[in-house]
């Protein structure tokens, strides 16, 4: 073989070696891409998947189940207070004012209608009684004169003018006596109590209705004006719930709806009322008062007590899970789908996948859930208890993996 032939053979060998290396490198590169894609895909899937050993599954207290159709109501939360109708409340005043001479009433005391609350002294009482007695005496005289003049007028003995003047004076005095009687009745003095002619300077104030004393502003010796409220009385027999409703929620309410409410210090909503009246006037704060009758009235409750209430707006069948099945992360709601189990070495791992949901109405420990299309709720099982423990295990595992 000459030199030229040796050179050609060498070139051919180099070309074969180069081509072989190129093919091997290309094959390795192509085989790496699917592996990388698979790893990336696995990495993308891992944040929403979790695995538990049988022991972890038991410790987490996980229970599996299926969403079910339940009657849930959309609840409107309101605030309000206990109140009384106007006819069950009374403010006691001294109509003509005066000095308080006696009172033994304290806040919280129960009083009966007509019971003595206080006594008031006022010189004007004496003047008013004196005027009445004088007018009454004058009326008695004019009545006799009227009868005498009437007889004379009928016999045409006296002039018509004299008779007419007597009639006018008699009727005028009748009016004055009736007016004074009414003024005396306002301060508690009746016509019968003055027939003896005994004038009183101290007069009583009586309870106008039966109930509890809720306010006292009566110190012995103090002068009170006619406009001063001395006592307030509340008859708690017909207490009701007065709710404050914003105008945007008003259209959802109607007469007859049930109201569930709690009182201060109560953690359970165990009282019930029924909407009876819906106000027709919107306040400057854009609210309306709604009146609800209590199912079980309690006379020991105090008017003005704060209440927190919920009103069931509708009642329909929806797909629901227990509240414990729903977890929240990054302002989104999720549930866990049980995807089965796989053997890893000697251990059997139970596998789960997070499924995003839309959360709806809530009632009685259940929440409405809307799942993505394609998730079969009839055959698949979901975590109904222990979901928060499962989420914590997932996130802890991720942190350990990053470290």
Q: Note the pLDDT tens digit of each residue in 257-293.
A: 889 898 888 877 778 999 999 999 999 999 999 999 9
Instruction: Confirm if 222 and 98 have CB atoms less than 8 A apart.
Output: no
Query: How do residues 27-43 score in pLDDT, each as one tens digit?
Result: 444 444 444 444 344 44
CA distance 343 to 350: 9
Query: How do residues 144-175 score in pLDDT, each as one tens digit?
Result: 988 988 888 888 777 788 889 999 999 999 99
Task: Quote helix, strand, coil % in the chain, to nearest 5.
Answer: 35, 35, 30
How much is the average pLDDT of 233-246?
Answer: 90
Tell me what pLDDT residue 152 has: 86
How much is the average pLDDT of 178-193?
Answer: 82
Residue 245 has pLDDT above 90, yes or no: yes
Query: How do residues 329-366 score in pLDDT, each as one tens digit?
Result: 888 899 999 999 888 887 888 999 999 999 888 877 88
Residue 64 has pLDDT above 90, yes or no: yes
CA distance 235 to 84: 8
Long-range (24+ apart) CB contacts under 8 A made by 302-305 are 302/82, 302/214, 303/81, 303/82, 303/83, 303/84, 303/89, 303/214, 303/234, 303/236, 303/239, 304/81, 304/82, 304/83, 305/81, 305/82, 305/263, 305/264
- What band does 7 get if pLDDT is binned at 50, 70 and 90? low
CA distance 187 to 181: 10
């Amino acid at each position: 073989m000459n030199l030229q032939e040796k050179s050609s053979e060498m070139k051919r060998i180099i070309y074969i070696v180069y081509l072989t290396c190129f093919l091997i490198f290309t094959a390795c590169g192509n085989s790496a891409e699917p592996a990388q894609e698979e790893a990336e895909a696995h990495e993308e899937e891992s944040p929403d998947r979790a695995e538990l050993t049988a022991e972890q599954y038991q410790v987490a207290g996980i229970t599996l189940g299926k969403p079910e159709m339940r009657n849930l109501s959309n609840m409107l939360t309101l605030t309000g207070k206990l109140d009384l109708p106007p006819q069950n409340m009374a403010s006691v005043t001294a109509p003509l004012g005066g000095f308080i001479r006696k009172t033994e009433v304290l806040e919280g005391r129960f009083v009966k209608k007509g019971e003595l609350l206080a006594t008031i002294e006022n010189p004007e009482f004496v003047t008013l009684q004196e005027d009445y007695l004088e007018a009454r005496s004058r009326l008695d005289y004019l009545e006799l004169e009227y009868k005498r003049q009437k007889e004379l007028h009928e016999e045409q003995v006296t002039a018509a003018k004299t008779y007419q003047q007597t009639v006018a004076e008699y009727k005028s005095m009748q009016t004055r006596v009736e007016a004074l009687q009414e003024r005396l009745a306002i301060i508690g003095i009746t016509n019968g109590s003055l027939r003896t002619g005994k004038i009183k300077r101290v007069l009583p104030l009586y309870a106008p209705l039966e109930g509890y004393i809720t306010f006292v502003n009566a110190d012995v010796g103090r002068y009170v004006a006619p406009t001063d409220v001395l006592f307030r009385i509340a008859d708690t027999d017909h207490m009701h719930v007065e709710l404050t409703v914003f105008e945007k929620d008003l259209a959802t309410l109607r007469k007859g709806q049930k109201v569930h409410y709690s009182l201060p210090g109560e953690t359970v909503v165990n009282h019930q009322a029924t909407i009876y009246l819906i106000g027709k006037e919107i306040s400057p704060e854009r609210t309306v008062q709604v009146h609800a009758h209590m199912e079980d009235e309690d006379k020991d409750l105090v008017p003005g007590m704060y209440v927190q209430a919920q009103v069931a707006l509708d009642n329909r069948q929806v797909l629901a899970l227990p509240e414990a099945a729903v977890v929240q992360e990054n302002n989104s709601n999720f549930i866990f789908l049980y995807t089965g189990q796989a053997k890893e070495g000697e251990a059997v791992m139970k596998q789960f996948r997070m499924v995003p949901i839309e959360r709806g109405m809530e009632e009685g420990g259940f929440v409405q859930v809307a799942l993505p299309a394609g998730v079969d709720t009839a055959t698949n099982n979901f975590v109904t208890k222990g979901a928060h423990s499962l989420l914590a295990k997932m996130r802890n595992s991720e942190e350990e993996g990053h470290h």
